[in-house]
Amino acid sequence: MKDELEASLAIHDDLLERRGVDVWIGAEPTFTRADSVEAAWTSESEGDDKLERAYLLATDFANATPGAALTRIVGRQFPGEPDPRFSYGVRWRDDVEAPGARALRDAAPLSPPSELGGDHWLTVTPDPGVVEVNMAPSSSALAFARQAQRVWAAASSAGLSAIRYRFNGDLVDSGGGGQISIGGSRPQASPFVRYPHVLPALIRYFNNHPALSYWFANECVGSASQGPRPDEGTRERWDELGIALGWLERLADRGELPPETLWHALGPLLVDSAGNSHRAEINVEKLWNPHIAPHGVRHGKMGIIELRSVRMPDRPMMLAALAVLFRSIVARLIVSHYRSPLIDWHDELHDRFALPAVLSRDLRMVLGDLDEHGLGIPAPLRRELDVWRAPGITCRLGDATMTLRPALEFWPLVGDVASQERAGARLVDASTQRIEISLEGPGPDRIVVAGRWAHLHVVGEGVRSVGVRRRVYLPTPGLHPGLPPADPLVIEWAWAGRLQRIELWAWRPDGGPYAGLPRDEADAIARRQERIKVTTIPGNVSGIGHWTEMRPFTIDLRASDGSRQ
C-alpha cells in the first residue's frame, strides 16, 4: 500500500472519529479464472476446479492473518439446488490469539458461529461464474483496506483474478459484482438504527446524484441489473416512495421511528422489477427483517444496508476509496439533515446520465458537498474514484481534443422477469453499445457519425458531448431479429483545416474467430488497438443530413433510414 494512500485513509478515519461518527464497512469482492470459459467460471455456481481454488484462497488469507482459524462451514442452499454450496470461514481477533484447528479441504462442514463477540469473520463461497469473498466488517477505512489487500493477494495466489479479457481484448470485471455493506459493530450501533433519519436521507441523496448509481456500476445497469434504482422500477412504487420517505422523516423528527418500522415501510418499495428486495440498489433485507431465520450472523435484524450498484474493481485500493466515499456520505447525513426533494428524472436518467462526462460532473458535486460539511476526501483517494470508468481514446486536431469513451447502456431483459427470477443469471440483450463523444475547450459543435451530422450538447463548463448507440453483434436469442450490426462505427470531425476519420470496430477488422482468449495484458491491448483506425488528412468534413435525436443527448444508429432530417 502506498504511503500517501495509507495516510489518506488515516485522515478519513480521523475525520469521522472527531465527528463522533461510528460507521462500519464491509464488501463482497468476487474473483474468477480469467483464462477459463468453463461454465463454473462464466455462469454456474459450482464445478470445474472452483472448490480447490476457493480453498487455496481461504488458506492463503488465513496464513496471512495473525491468529486466524480456517473452518469448512455449511453454505447457502438456493431453490432448485440439491445441496448447500460449499463455504469456508476464516475467524480471527485483533489481539494475535492462538489459532484454532485448520480445516481440511474436504472436511465435514460445520455450522457457522452463532455469536462472534469481538471476532472477525470472513467467508469464501461460490456464486455464478465466480468465487465470492464476504469480507469481515471493519471499523475503519484503514483496516478495511488492509483486509482487502490480503484478499486480493490470496486470490492471486489461488490463480483467481478480479478482471478478465474478452476474446476481442476488451477488459471487463470478474462478473460477480463487489457490493458494499454499511452497519455498526452490533445491530443497535448501526447508524441506520441510531439515527433513523439517515436511511431516508440516503435514498434521497442517491436519487439526487445518479453518479452514485452509475459511476461505479458494471456493464449491466438499469431495470434488468442486479441493483436497479427505485426510479427504474414500476411507476406505482416510485410514486409511493416519496410519500413513505416524508412520513418516515416526520416519525424520526418525533423520535418515533424504530428500525422495524423503517424496514416494514421501505422493504416493499426498495425492490427490483420482480419485487425482489435482494436485487435492489439500496438493499434493506438485513436492516431489521424478522423473516430471515435468526441463526447468528446471518439473521435479518443486523442493522445493515447493502449498496449493490458496484462492479468488481480491478484492485483493492479502488474498493477502499469507494468505502471511504460511502462512509463519508453516511457521516454527512448524520451530522446534517438532508431533505432535498426526490427528482423525477424521466428520460434524462437513461439519456444525459448515460454519459461519463455528466456522471463525472455529478460526482464532483458530491465531493464538493462533502467538502462543505467538513468530510472531504483526500486527493489520492479521489484519484482512485476517478479510475472506476475507462479513460477512452483521445484524438487531437490543432488545439482541439476529442475523447471517445464507453458510456452506459441499459440492456433490456429478454422475456418476462418473473420467468427468470429463479435463474442464477438473467438473460439480457447485450448487443447494444453506447459511446460518448465529447470535446472540452475549442473545437466544432457538430461531427459526422456514420455519414450524418450529429450535434454536440453542453453537459458542463466547456464540455460538449453526444451519446451514440449501435448494435455490435446479432444476439440469439435477443431483440430486433435480423437487424444487422453497425461495424465499424465511423466518426469524422474537422478543425484547423484538418480532417480526422476514426473507425471503431467491435470485432477484428479482418473478420473470423480469435485464437482463444488473450494470453496476457499485452495480447489484449494488441487486440483492442487493431480495432481502432485513425486517419488524419488536410480538408473538411461533410455529412448527408442530420441524425434525429431520439432523446436530447443520444443518437441511435439502429434507427431506420427515415430518421434523416
For residue 25, the cross-strand partners are: 138, 182
pLDDT cut 90: percent of the chain above it? 78
Task: Supply the pLDDT for residue 117.
Answer: 57
Contact residues for 85 (Cβ-Cβ < 8 A; gap 6+): 45, 46, 75, 76, 77, 78, 125, 126
Average pLDDT over every residue of 286-311: 81
CA nearest to 377, candidates 8, 2, 4: 8
Q: Quote the DSSP letter at residue 506.
A: S
pLDDT of residue 292: 75
pLDDT of residue 461: 86
Cβ 112 vs Cβ 122: under 8 Å: no
Q: Which of 75-79, 342-346, 349-353, 493-497 has the lowest mean pLDDT?
A: 75-79
DSSP string computed for 179-214 = -EEEE-SSGGG-HHHHSTTHHHHHHHHHHH-THHHH
Match 427504474 to its residue by C-alpha cell.
Answer: 232
Residue 116 grid cell: 462472534
| Tens of pLDDT, residues 43-77 | 899 999 999 999 999 999 999 999 999 999 988 88
Confidence of residue 419 (pLDDT cuts 50, 70, 90): low
Mean pLDDT of 424-442: 89
* CA dist list (Å): 36 to 41, 57, 363: 6, 18, 36
Q: What is the pLDDT of residue 79?
A: 77
The more confidently predicted of residues 325 and 116 is 325
Quick check: 296 pLDDT over 60? no
Q: What's the CA gap between 362 and 377, in Å, rounded?
A: 15
β strands within 49-94, DSSP E: 69-74, 86-92
Its pTM stands at 0.93
